[in-house]
Amino acid sequence: MLDSNQRRQWLGAITSLCALASISTLPVRALAAQPAKKSITEVRYADHPEAMAFADAMAATHGLDAARIRQQLGQARRIDSVRRLIMPPPAGTAKNWTAYRSRFIDNQRILAGLSFWRTNERWLALAEDRWGVPPELVVSIVGIETFYGRVMGNFRVIDALATLSFDFPPGRRDRTEFFRGELEALFVLAKREGSDPLAVKGSFAGAMGLPQFMPSSVNRYAVDFDGDGHIDLHANAADVVGSVANYLAAFGWQRGMPTHYEVAVPVDTSDRAVLLGPDILPTFTAAQFAERGAQLDPAGQAHSGPLALVELQNGQLAASYVAGTQNFYTITRYNWSSYYAMAVIDLGAAIKRKR
């Protein structure tokens, strides 16, 4: 016969086993999507002197109601999962272009991209006419960022930005000032649009809507493309299309220029190191590529602007290389990664072929 204490322990063990059994049947993505358990003591920024001083300074700068800004920012909560997610991968983690590419370029995303293109053909054509950005690239960016709105993030943006503004985790380069700028931009955006900064949902880093714009990017580059008097990046595809194209144009997109060329890298490792030195920044002419032993395809040899030798590592296998143009570099201004840029290019090409 179990006494009362033993009975409680036994029931607790059974409950834990049942919970584990139910979790084990969920797919990995479902597990990742489960909300993190709240800590016993929830940290709100109403009790954070630095956050309240920031609220006062922001209100004074932008002519906002200080009491209201304090009240709104005071409702923001520290989210510990945000602090974990912002950390870089462990040191020594090998980059793998093939694995990265496979995450984004599959039949489901290609078909969804084709549907998005067909539905928004008018806006994509207008954007290309105005800014010179090909439709497939705009479509591809929306697909890679949020799978055409299926995955836009479920964090309150104010929580994410407050966490990274006042509790940025140690162990990586401190970006507190960047996120404080984005938190300020969120309040500026809310004032302009007459919206509630507490209601906006987004990624763990504070990116919002189908194109995952940070608040400052919404303020600078988002456009009311359909002229309805309101910018909506969550549900208005016209504004999404126009804003993505305008963003790329603002960062130097060149109408009609290819994004990259095929290249055989130099055999000599020192020549290769010289070409790889500037990373993705276009620096060398086609002639300088040739002088260093890099063999461009015929179109690349005729290119008149600067090029960058872009390396895409494949784990333990041989790396892949392309010669990136100014337009390749422009795509990396959306997400500062050559792997990201190449995935955008490849997904866009696959959708265009399907079309």
Q: Count of CB atoms within 10 A of residue 18's CB?
A: 10
Residue 84 has which token pair? 């974990």
Q: Count of CB atoms within 10 A of residue 15's CB?
A: 10
Clarify whether 193 is annotated catalytic: no
**CA atoms of 147 and 210, how far apart (whole Å):** 8
| Whether the Cβ atoms of residue 190 and residue 161 lie closer than 8 Å to each other | no
Q: Count of CB atoms within 10 A of residue 177's CB?
A: 10
Contact partners, residue 338, CB within 8 Å, separation at least 6: 279, 280, 310, 311, 312, 324, 328, 332
Measuring CA to CA, how many Å separate 191 from each of 69, 91, 224, 228, 240? 11, 42, 17, 18, 21
Measuring CA to CA, how many Å separate 319 from each of 130, 271, 316? 37, 16, 9
User: Which one is catalytic: 128, 136, 145, 182?
Assistant: 145
Show which residues are catalytic: 145
